[in-house]
Structure 1
Amino acid sequence: MQSPSNAEALPAQRRRWGQWYAPEDTPEERKLVLKLDLLIVPYAFVLYWIKYIDQTNINNAYASGMSADLNFHGNQLVQFQTIFYVANVIGILPFIYLFPRVPMHILVPTLDLGWGIFTLLQYRAQSYGEIMVYRFFVSLFEASYFPGVHFVLGSWYRSDEIGRRGGTFYAGLTLGTLTASLLQAAASTYLDGRDGLAGWRWLFIINAIITMPMALVGYFVWPGTPERPNRLVMKQHELDLARSRLERHGAALQRTPFSMPLIRRIFSSWKFWVLVFWDMLFFNTSANSAAFILWIESLGRYNTATMNQLAAISPALGILFVLGINYATDLWVSRPTAITIASVFNFSALVILSVWEVPEAAKWFAFSVTYSAVAVSSVLYGWANSILKESNEERALTLTIMTAVGTATNAFVPNFVYPTVEAPRYPKGYVYSAVMVVCMVVVTWIVNLLFGPNGDKRRRIETVEDLALPSSQSDLADSEKPIASKANTSSKIEPISTS
């Protein structure tokens, strides 16, 4: 077992507004952090922006002529969303094993190329079935991107640094949704009928032109992880410094062999199930992504271009929510407080939409602030990274399963609570999402009680649990033990649970 001095990671100091680096960071560390910021954050942001253009363009295309051109009817829009989520779940599972083993600077850009190709193919669709096939493969290639970026962020940044980087990356989601609306508005205005193609078909072509070149950039700028770095951009002394600064704060950088005993131990841990359940609740706190534009369409007073421009209001405000909440977690408030603040806005909007018989101005307000829900994501995943920082394999498996389970619920729940035929009223959907918000906030404070806002409390709990284990349990086979980090070489016995 670790001695008390080694069991505790160095505490992160909360800093003042505008203080980008921690007071204890050396000049060399600040240079390294700046370099990582320039390599990781802009590329992650741009690619997530592109991903969400490619994901949400179906809503804009549907409302901008695709439905009429291809004779869609009934719940086919929500079925497009369902097949997307099903493919996400299928596509994400192999990366439980691949994240710690395949260089991320190879994996991420290659998958980006795949989803770019199938985004392009959607422009030629002539039927519901053809669109379904293309949406499946777009999602299959996109599936691992979100947990993959969080795996990379958790591999380089401390718990007091990850919030701002995760928030900046996640702002790409809201910008992607906003841009999809504006791109469709431009395509409908300037390209509709050009070369015999409808404006909604041009949207898919434009999206693909944006997507595929960025994949090539990733091979040269994405730094990978400290264990499997991109040697084109990372020097050996930078890797040594990155490892040492994380080890001082309790992170594991050595690989634990991925064995069945390790997997059984992770799946039998109550910590794993708490995090998975918590994230599943989060995935169900948002209103249907097409609700706003379908409500604007139902008003019957705007043309296609104006309708898409107005639909950009919500994601535009979402950028402010995402950046404000995530920067606040590093600089001002604790993680549970930040999640609660964002959830208050989301809950208020959902209550208004649940009542429905309210002044039109109230509906404009409610739809406009629904993107406060997504501001929670990077706070939650950054927190999970901190809780799981002692084992790369456990971190990869847990982050991936969290995303897979949350996505799986999105694959079938909307068919019951957000059916297309009930749009935009959704009498069951808004109530359901509001209940999920309350449940998520309650579990958030339970997580805070169990693990602490920086994930350090659980280290003390597990150390006490190790003392109570009989020697036969603590004397694991070498294949089940994590390799001791440099910071813990004075320990005589490794703890059983390395989270």
Structure 2
Amino acid sequence: MQIIWGVLTFCTAAVTKVEHIYAIRFFQGMAEASTFVGTHYILGSWYKPGELGKRSGIFTSSGLIGTLFSGILQAAVYKHLNGVAGRSGWRWLFIIDGVITLPIALYGFLIFPDVPATTKAFYLSEEERLLSSDRLDKGRDLTHEPPTWNLLKRVVSRWRWYACSLLFAISGETESFGSNNLMGQWLKAIGGYTVEQIDFYPSGMTAFAIVSTLVCATWTDSTRSRARWPVLVYMAICTIIASICILVWSSPTGLKFFAYYLAGASYAGQATTFAWANQICADDDQERGIVLASMNMWNNVINAWWPLVFYPATDAPRFTKGMWAMIGMSIATLLITWLVWYLERREKRIKSKSEVSLDGEDRTVDEKKSHEAHE
């Protein structure tokens, strides 16, 4: 999929009509779909709850580092390659992106580990492979069979699919500051900034996103209860403050820079949300795969039309509708976070009572057998 992704990136450099871009982006979307969800699934297959946050944070941050590098790369390409060999700067950018992508895809063939039960990774000894599998198997349904009606029944009869999908469908939209490059559009609309500055200045948001993601994800692993919800609360509060600062248009430019950079905190929720879902569904691998894919799918369903309605380029530089929408989504994120937290606690409570009850029954049976044997 990544090789297809890289070839399509090269193709983008040669387009002559906007319809070409529509077609390329459609097939690129199909190629990209396996990477994000697949990686989170693999992480959940190798790591325990107390290890997942940090690993998910590293994965998310690596993508953000790519975004940070991309902003710097765009500025450099425009400055040094625009017009070279008769190609505009944006065409050179896609050529360079393709050159970067293909070696990484080939690297993946050598390094990607599959899941512990089936891994053939050359860098793991047989002892390490068995340890990787055994330490996670306790209490888990590791079925790797074709989907059945029983799987469908399990998924639709539990709260996990509904609540986790809703959580990322909503909370993922708080990333709109970065995913729609609102800061770049703001700088372009108010004028007074060069193309290089418009490409470079939004990198501050990405830098803050990287720091927030790594710090928050590592912190969640260090808490005794593996609590993920505080990160989503932190993220929502930051986006609410940022939106208010931008809505108050009379505020100084420096405060608006601060607001856009603070909004980078929204990316901290991505790693935590998927680590949380992996943790919630750890006892059923098939359900876990469906839940992770659905979370990403429903977020994309919302994101397909959300920016067109609330963040059109014509609304720059103020994005008044978008800021109010951001406040609404941030508040909704807080409510849904509470819902997932409550449902997870309730499930653990019910499971704990059930285990205590079963233990009691087992002890009663054992005591009866012991008494009969004694007689």
TM-score, normalization: structure 2? 0.88
Tell me the CA shift for residue 464 of structure 1.
Answer: 5.8
1:343-492 → structure 2 map (5 Å cutoff): 343-452=236-345, 458-462=347-351
Q: Is the 8 A contact 2:232 2:333 kept in 1?
A: no
Amino acid at match of 2:155: I
SS at match of 1:253: coil
Q: Is the 8 A contact 1:120 1:208 kept in 2?
A: yes
Partner of 1:260: 149
Partner of 1:279: 168
1:293-312 → structure 2 map (5 Å cutoff): 293-312=184-203
Amino acid at match of 1:138: Q
1:83-482 → structure 2 map (5 Å cutoff): 111-248=1-138, 250-255=139-144, 257-288=146-177, 289-332=180-223, 334-452=227-345, 458-462=347-351
Partners of 1:235 and 1:171 in 2: CA distance = 29
Q: Deviations over 1:195-251 (max 9, x none)?
A: 111111110011000001111111111111113313433333222211221134x33
Amino acid at match of 2:141: A
Q: Deviations over 1:312-354 (max 9, x none)?
A: 1111121111111111111258311222123222221122223
Tell me the CA shift for residue 466 of structure 1.
Answer: 10
Tell me the CA shift for residue 421 of structure 1.
Answer: 1.6
Partner of 2:370: none
Q: How many residues align?
A: 353
Partner of 2:360: none
Partner of 2:372: none
Tell me the CA shift for residue 396 of structure 1.
Answer: 0.5
Partners of 2:280 and 2:356 in 1: CA distance = 20
Q: Is the 8 A contact 2:213 2:268 kept in 1?
A: yes
Q: Is the 8 A contact 2:143 2:286 kept in 1?
A: no
Q: Is the 8 A contact 2:160 2:281 kept in 1?
A: no
Q: Is the 8 A contact 2:189 2:316 kept in 1?
A: no
Partners of 1:409 and 1:354 in 2: CA distance = 23
TM-score, normalization: structure 1? 0.67
SS at match of 2:147: coil
Partners of 1:318 and 1:142 in 2: CA distance = 22
Partners of 1:460 and 1:196 in 2: CA distance = 67
Partners of 2:243 and 2:34 in 1: CA distance = 29
| Stretch of structure 1 that moved more, 402-411 or 421-430 | 421-430
Q: Is the 8 A contact 1:280 1:402 kept in 2?
A: yes
Partners of 1:199 and 1:275 in 2: CA distance = 41
Q: Is the 8 A contact 2:61 2:210 kept in 1?
A: yes
| Stretch of structure 1 that moved more, 141-150 or 329-338 | 329-338
Greater share of helix = 2
Structural RMSD (CA): 2.1
Larger-gyration structure (1/2):
2
Partners of 2:222 and 2:91 in 1: CA distance = 44
Percent identity at matched positions? 29
Q: Deviations over 1:408-457 (max 9, x none)?
A: 100012221112221232221121121111111222122222214xxxx6
Structure 1 unaligned blocks of 5 or more: 1-110, 469-499
SS at match of 2:201: helix
